[in-house]
Structure 1
Amino acid sequence: MSQEPEEVGVDEELEEIKERILMALETVIDPELGIDIVNLGLVYEVDFAKDTGDTIIKMTLTTMGCPLADVLTENIHDALAEVDEVNKIEVKLVWYPAWTTDRMSRYARIALGIR
């Protein structure tokens, strides 16, 4: 069954908003590593409800018990304030799957000297 043209437009708009959310998250720098949380692979999922603007960021940290969780959460709230469609923001820390350097982008690997 094919999608109606209106549904395709809604999907494209939703993806565009999610892309802007990810771009905003790229401004959130991990203070210990000096690389943004997206390129470090810490952001696992972005859920955005177009009708309410509610946004849930599912992410992890490089280590459990990392003392920077509150700092990163605050920086995420600040960064997403720049995305007009975002209303309520919830940051959910998840520990599965566990973060490894395999989740890092090529850029982050080069910046940190990891092969």
Structure 2
Amino acid sequence: MAQINEAEVMDALRECYDPEIPVNIVDLGLVYNVDLNQEEGNVGITMTLTAIGCPMAGEVMEEVETRVKQVENVNACKVDLTFDPPWSPDRMTEDAKWELGMI
């Protein structure tokens, strides 16, 4: 049985950017969990946004779903949005902080 490559899923997520901050959603710390169901070929993504009520939430979630479904052996992708725990800049990678001039 063909397996979903988690590194390829993460690479696909790194191609998705927050519409207000020029950093990908992985480095921003917006992705909380990636669940691979190898038997079904399904990927579940639990993520958040930098702000509750972000008017671009639907577009961000749609882009995540579209890019992940392009990964080999992925049949479906479901994106769940959560605000628990709330996002904070502490979740950002060091690379993201450098890119934004925070370090």
TM-score for both structures, normalised by structure 1: 0.82
Equivalences for residues 1-115 of structure 1 within 5 A: 17-115=5-103
d(CA) in 1 for partners of 2:98, 2:56: 23
What is the CA RMSD across the aligned residues, in angstroms? 1.6
1:61-108 CA distance string (max 9 Å, x none): 001111111111111122113211211111000111111101001111
Contact 2:69 / 2:76 at 8 angstroms: preserved in 1? no
Structure 2 length-normalised TM: 0.91
Distance in 2 separating the partners of 1:97 and 1:31: 21
The gaps in structure 1 that reach 5 residues or longer are 1-12
Q: Provide the residue aligned with 1:7 in structure 2.
A: none
More strand by share: 2
Counterparts of 1:25 and 1:45 in 2: how far apart (Å)? 12
For 2:13 and 2:69, the matched residues in 1 are separated by 11
Larger Rg: 1
Q: Using the alignment, how far apart are the partners of 2:17 and 2:100 within structure 1?
A: 14
Letter in 1 for 2:46: K
3-state DSSP class of the match of 1:79?
helix
Within 2, Cα distance between the matches of 1:93 and 1:114? 26
How many residues get paired? 102
Look up the equivalent residue of 1:33 and give its one-letter code: I
Percent identity over the alignment? 37
Report the Cα distance in structure 1 between the residues aligned to 2:41 and 2:92, rounded to whole angstroms. 28
